[in-house]
Amino acid sequence: PGLKYFGPYTNAWALRNTFEVLLKVFPVRSCSSSNFSRAQRSKRQCLLGDIGKCAAPCVDWISKEDHQSLALRLNDFMESGMENLLPSLQAEMLSASDNEEFERAARLRDQIESFEKAQRSTQGNFSDDLDGDFIALYQDGFHSAGSIFSMQRGSIKGSRSWIVDQEMTLEGQDVFASLLFSIYGNGSISIPRNIYLNTQPDNLPELEQWLTNVNGSKVEIKVPQRGDKAELLDTVKRNAQYSLIQYVSKRATDAAISGKALTEIEEMLSLPRTPLRIECFDISNISGTSVVASMVVFEDGLPKKSEYRRFIIDTSEGWDDTRAMHQVITRRLKRMLDDRNVDLAEVSETGGRISKFAYPPALIVVDGGKPQVSAAQRALSELGISDIALCGLAKRLEEVWLPNNSDPLIFPRNSEGLYLLQRIRDEAHRFAITFHRSRRSKVMLESLLDEIPGLGSARRAALLDRFGSVSAIRKAEVSELAATPGIGEKLAITIIESLAQIGKSEQVNMTTGEITGA
């Protein structure tokens, strides 16, 4: 009777992982005396009993003697480790079975299965010579995350992830140094002899010396390029990436952080009010062909995808990035002005709805620097609009440009406002790219008709008007094609033969829109 203490343990987070496994293998009661007495009176076990992490002696699922034996085995494991545990459990199970103690044998069998399952989950396909801490860094723009797998003889004894201090990262400090300080700097984690990294840090000798001083014995940092260790580091890096995705997603939906970001934007841009509705515009093109623009909408710092819009840019009078930006801003704001003049009472009486273009943004963000901002400002001025704020976000240095300013505005690098502007700009870019790809694919497919002899522009238009797409034309019968005005049976046969021949030699990549050899 009484208490027994184990430890101290330097890896608290690894110990928590181990404890969850131990409760499966050795489901001893871990509740307080009052909870135990309450369960005895109610004849109802707690949740740990329901999920197999307690043998529930409170409701006599296990005898007092067997529970004491379970506790003794846990004690032996904590003192001597796992080397002799499995053979001992297997011997006890066989003995119980021989003595026809089938319930006890079944419990021992379940413990063995839990233990073997736990071993498999930590070992995976790793070789036994994987020993030490494996640390990988994942960086995405202005954010970084690191993960660690602590390995002993090919088994994962613990894993954890950290978000690297954003300000340190942006100020040019070595990210790996910051990560290692986070992991080992407070002395709560034991330092192994070997530490494996997925990237060479800038100051490796200094980091090795620091770790050696903290540890009191030599520590080596290695950067494997191939083999099991490099493969394991790839896994650790994916773990870091997943942690960063979770972190960024949580921040993106955090109302307090969104509110702080909007307030920072209001203050930095000297806006008359908080920009609760922000619209961002991006242009996408390749060599001036299939030029498209996107408009994304963020309200209260969150995307409002139902109000995203796409625009096909008219390039008949020439094209460049600033002309395209002027055109899309003009088109969007003209719609806003037109919809502002709608009689709201009439809309209400007829049961109609107000166009989503009628809602004015508090801030327009354009993807680009001074030229793009100037083009957008010209569109605002031509329409007589002065109550909508405007800025541009240049990609390379993440500079914020304002109309009529000769120099960019520099947000603090760890600013939540800057991060929100980046998110909005990146979302507009993603939305434009997906539209551009679909447009380009359609153009590429329709251009196949240009190669068919005897098929002029009027006949091509007639075919597309009737069948809708080149794919539908391919599937049509001769009689169906011949019924199209201006085609006839002879040309219909030529079309089918030509498309069949083109299909053998060329294919269209529906993801990129490129025509490739079959």
Can you read off the two tokens belonging to residue 293?
A: 């623009």
Q: What is the β-pairing status of strands 155-163 and 143-152?
A: antiparallel
Please give the model's pTM, rounded to 2 decimal places. Answer: 0.47
Confidence band, pLDDT 50/70/90 cuts, at residue 323: very high
pLDDT of 356 above 80 = no
Closest by Cα among 347, 325, 330, 438 to 384: 330
446-479 b/e with 16+ CB inside 10 Å = b?
A: eebbeebeebeeebbebbeebbeebeebbebeee
pLDDT of 509 above 60 = no
pLDDT of 366 above 90 = yes
pLDDT confidence of residue 114: 65
Q: 259-429 maps to which CATH number?
A: 3.30.420.340
pLDDT confidence of residue 172: 44
Which range, of 46-60, 410-424, 442-456, averages the lowest pLDDT? 442-456
pLDDT of 499 above 60 = yes
Mean pLDDT, residues 455-480: 80
pLDDT confidence of residue 410: 87
pLDDT of 38 above 80 = yes
Confidence band, pLDDT 50/70/90 cuts, at residue 10: very low
Compute the mean pLDDT over every residue in the chain, rounded to the nearest whole number. Answer: 78
| Each residue's pLDDT tens digit, 399-435 | 899 998 989 998 887 788 998 998 899 888 888 877 6
pLDDT confidence of residue 510: 36
| Each residue's pLDDT tens digit, 264-301 | 999 999 999 999 999 999 988 754 556 788 899 999 88
Mean pLDDT, residues 242-267: 81
Mean pLDDT is highest, among 232-246, 303-317, 322-336, for: 322-336
pLDDT confidence of residue 518: 34
pLDDT confidence of residue 229: 85
What superfamily would CATH give domain 452-517?
Answer: 5' to 3' exonuclease, C-terminal subdomain (1.10.150.20)
CB 134 within 8 A of CB 192: no
Ordered by start, the domain boundaries in the chain are 12-123, 132-251, 259-429, 452-517
Fold match flag (259-429 vs 452-517): no
* Domain 132-251 in CATH 3.40.50.720: no
Alpha helices in 28-187 (DSSP H): 33-42, 47-50, 64-80, 85-98, 102-123, 166-170, 175-184
pLDDT confidence of residue 353: 53
